[in-house]
Amino acid sequence: MNESQNTAETKPAEPAPAKGEGKQKPAREKETARETIESIVFAFVLAFLFRTFEAEAFVIPTGSMAPTLFGRHKDIDCEQCGYTFQFGASTEIGREGNIISPDGRIREALCPNCRFSNRSAFEAAPFKGDRILVNKFQYELNDPKRFDVVVFKYPEDSKTNYIKRLVGLPGETVRIHHGNLYRVGENGGEEILRKDDPNKQKLIQIPVYDDNYPPSELLEAGWPERWAAVEQTNNPESEGAVAGWQTVETWNRQEGDRAYQLPNELAGNGNLNWLRYRHFAPTAEDWKAFGNDDGLTPSVRLIGDFCGYNTVTHTLEPAYSDELFWVGDLTVSGVIDVDSVQDSSEIVLELTEGTHWYRCHIELDTGVARLTRIESGLDPNEEIEMAKANTSVSGTGSFTFRFANVDDRLCLWIDDSLVDFGPGASYETSLLDGMLPSQADYTPVGIAFRGAAGTVSDLIVERDIYYRGSDDALEQGSRLLGNVVEWQKAYRNNWKQIDNFEVQIPEDQFFVLGDNSPRSSDGRFWLETNTVPREAFVGKAFFIYWPHGIPIGVDSGMAFTLSYHRKFTRDGQVVTDRSYPLHYFPFYPNFPRMQRIR
């Protein structure tokens, strides 16, 4: 929908009648046909100018920018854990827009939260992609900036518009490896390219696990909880131990609201009482064993570059994971309620990446937050301080937190407000150190109380975008994420070369990538060029003004279908497919996704 401007003439007020005179009826002005036509033409000219020079609406056709922007997709609630997720459905229709592709219907989709393959994907309502507004005037006055979401003419077909994220500037050499972006200097040294605004980084995180949506039936059958009370042990073979952490009975799980409570009697023991995330993500084989009552054999895994938007199947086989690479850039968030505090009490948040541990100590009596790191091979208690800052946390009470280790930078949000640690929150990781996982990455997230009692709830683990250097799909990669030693071996010997990409950007050219790195046709894979010329830019995407309408009560029969998709019969005729609705009524707008694009 393009906006237009309306103009209206203002007229002086009529003079008041003289005293004693009756009010005279004003003469009625007549509008000629010519004036009417001129007004209509003028309105169209304004609308055309606005569309040409200011803003234009676009519809996103595919999922190459997911999760920032959705193309044609479906929304479902997981049949096992209830988690709501989206998956791409642009393959279900042809270029005509509402004719189903032969054998294109999606049969199952994998839940990003519990990895269950959902058959409800077949009957789910399809939605067109996000409708966005693009500021076409932005780049008339200013140069494009790194990490802008941009619309441009595809260099190999100028009639086609593409939308991607701008990551490389003119004259730079950009390198991709280990999921990150680097600028290569003249001496060959690398500088990591961080998202300029940590709040932008926050909006493009990809879900790993939301503890409010556990797979209850799987847990009842004996599958381990991902969050557990633990302490470090010197006996890794002991029952319940995972990567040097032994389960203990300190934190009490409150089943009703998925909260974890540390009682008052443990507040004074002087220890860090740890609650820790273990990545017990089920595989397709685990779900098959659960369904056949074959007996579960749970195993912990590394967090990989799993993208639920892509994990669908068009056959009767269950959907499989396309994850391949280990991801160490993680974020943890939740709610903390502090019930009681003692002297020198603190809360500790911890994120592990390879051979390094990064911690945030929040002192409950002063509100000061300290960032520290533990180097490889050193005593875990020998922490190196990086930075500190004041927060709004003080004594008892409730607050939300978000702690991130992304792009070699630590970030903390308290009650959705970013804490300013200054440059000390950033660090440099060399090519040889911290780039491969260790066993500690089986349990990469921890929360601890010392000298305090309280409750932790609403726990969510997320990961950063992992930029792949290649689109090669190696199915065995997902299996090896359950064995860190074998994964390291395979990466060094076979995968390292496909995890690298380098481009030298000419002057007045730019390098772009899709946020959905495993499924994006972007500057890595174009045949004739890897870059976009300055004159090809259409504008900057700035707002999702209409994600899609949400049908009201589809399952209960309140909504009814206005129209259906069509399909080809075996003899080539096009007929209506009444199993595949196109439009529903009534519906309500998807307000939460009407937002600024970052």
SS (H, E, C) 298-320: CCCCCCECCCCCCCEECCCCCCC
Cβ-contact 154, 529 below 8 angstroms? no
Tell me whether residue 392 is exposed, middle or buried, using C-beta atoms within 10 angstroms of its C-beta: 0 to 12, 13 to 18, 19 or more: exposed
Residue with tokens 């590394």: 302
pLDDT in tens, 340-350: 999 999 999 99
Over the stretch 33-89, which tens digit does the pLDDT of each residue have? 555 565 555 545 445 545 545 778 899 999 999 999 999 999 999 999 999 999 999
The token pair at 28 is 């009625």
Say what the pLDDT of residue 49 is. 46
Tokens at residue 129, please? 């992609």
d(CA 361, CA 370): 5
How do residues 295-316 score in pLDDT, each as one tens digit?
A: 899 999 999 999 999 999 888 7
Q: In this model, does residue 8 exceed pLDDT 70?
A: no
**Beta partners for residue 390, in sequence order:** 368
Looking at residue 582, what is its pLDDT? 83
Query: Please, which contacts does 408-417 make with residues 24 or more away whose CB atoms are closer than 8 Å?
Result: 408/180, 408/192, 408/194, 409/194, 409/198, 410/351, 410/358, 410/360, 410/371, 410/386, 411/198, 411/201, 411/202, 412/349, 412/360, 412/369, 412/371, 413/202, 413/333, 417/392
Rounded CA separation 409/414 (Å)? 17
Instruction: State how far the alpha carbon of 268 is from the alpha carbons of 340, 342, 359, in Å.
Output: 10, 8, 22
Averaged pLDDT, 223-244: 88
The pair of structure tokens assigned to 438 is: 């260790």
Helix, strand, or coil here: 21?
Answer: coil
Over its C-alpha atoms, the chain yields an Rg (Å, rounded) of: 28
Fill in the DSSP letter of residue 217: H
pLDDT of residue 291: 81
Q: Count CB atoms within 10 A of the CB of residue 263.
A: 14
Which tens digit of pLDDT belongs to each residue from 241-299?
Answer: 899 999 999 999 987 789 999 999 998 788 999 999 999 999 988 999 998 877 899 99
Cis? peptide before 67, omega within 30° of 0: yes
∠ Cα 93 95 101 (to 5°): 30
User: Residue 423 and residue 387: Cα distance in Å, rounded?
Assistant: 8
- Measure the N-to-C terminal CA separation of the chain; round to a whole number of Å: 21
Average pLDDT over residues 480-505: 90
Q: List domains and CATH numbers for the chain.
A: 227-277+328-463 (2.60.120.560)
Looking at the predicted structure, is the pLDDT value of residue 163 above 50?
yes
Phi-psi region of 288 (alpha: psi -120 to 50; beta: other; left: phi over 0): alpha
The three-class DSSP label of residue 164 is: strand
Nearest to 310 by CA among 453, 515, 476, 133: 515
Q: Which residue has the tokens 């926050």?
A: 202
CB 165 within 8 A of CB 515: yes
Residue 504 has which token pair?
A: 């030298």
**Structural tokens at position 104:** 């294109």
- The most confident of the ranges 289-293, 374-378, 489-493 is 489-493
Percent of the chain clearing pLDDT 90 (strictly above):
61
Question: Which pLDDT tens digit goes with each residue over 500-558?
Answer: 899 999 999 999 999 999 999 999 999 899 999 999 999 999 999 999 888 887 655 56
State residue 49 phi and psi, 5-degree precision: -65, -40
According to the model, what pLDDT value does residue 1 have? 37
The owner of tokens 């003289």 is: 18
pLDDT of residue 430: 57
Q: Which of 208-217, 321-330, 394-403 has the lowest mean pLDDT?
A: 321-330
Point out which residues pair with 99 in neighbouring strands.
566
- pLDDT at site 95: 67
Q: Residue 26 has what pLDDT?
A: 40
The more confidently predicted of residues 434 and 244 is 244
Whether 97 shows a pLDDT value over 90: the answer reads no
CB 301 within 8 A of CB 281: yes
Q: Quick one: what percent of the chain has pLDDT higher than 70?
A: 87
Torsion angle of C-alpha atoms 53, 55, 61, 65, degrees rounded to 10: 110
CB 86 within 8 A of CB 309: yes
- What is the 8-class DSSP label of residue 441? G
456-475 burial, b at 16+ Cβ within 10 Å, e below that, comes to bbebbbbbbbbbbbbeeeee
The pLDDT score that the predictor gives to residue 472 is 64
Question: Which pLDDT score is estimated for 559?
Answer: 76
pLDDT digits (tens, 9 = 90+) for 63-72: 999 999 999 9
| 431 or 219, higher pLDDT | 219
- What DSSP state is assigned to residue 464? -
391 vs 376: CA distance, rounded Å: 29
Cβ-contact 215, 470 below 8 angstroms: no
Assess contact for 404 and 202: CB atoms under 8 A: yes
- The pLDDT of residue 5 is 33
* pLDDT at residue number 368: 98
Position 28 confidence tier, pLDDT thresholds 50, 70, 90 = very low
Q: How far is CA 515 from CA 184, 281, 318, in A?
A: 22, 23, 26
| Residue 439 pLDDT level (bands cut at 50, 70, 90) | very high
Banded pLDDT at 583 (limits 50, 70, 90): confident
Residue 240 confidence (pLDDT) above 90: no
Scan for tokens 């100028």, then name that residue.
Answer: 158
CB 564 within 8 A of CB 172: no
Tell me the three state secondary structure of residue 102.
Answer: coil
* Whole-number pLDDT of residue 378: 66
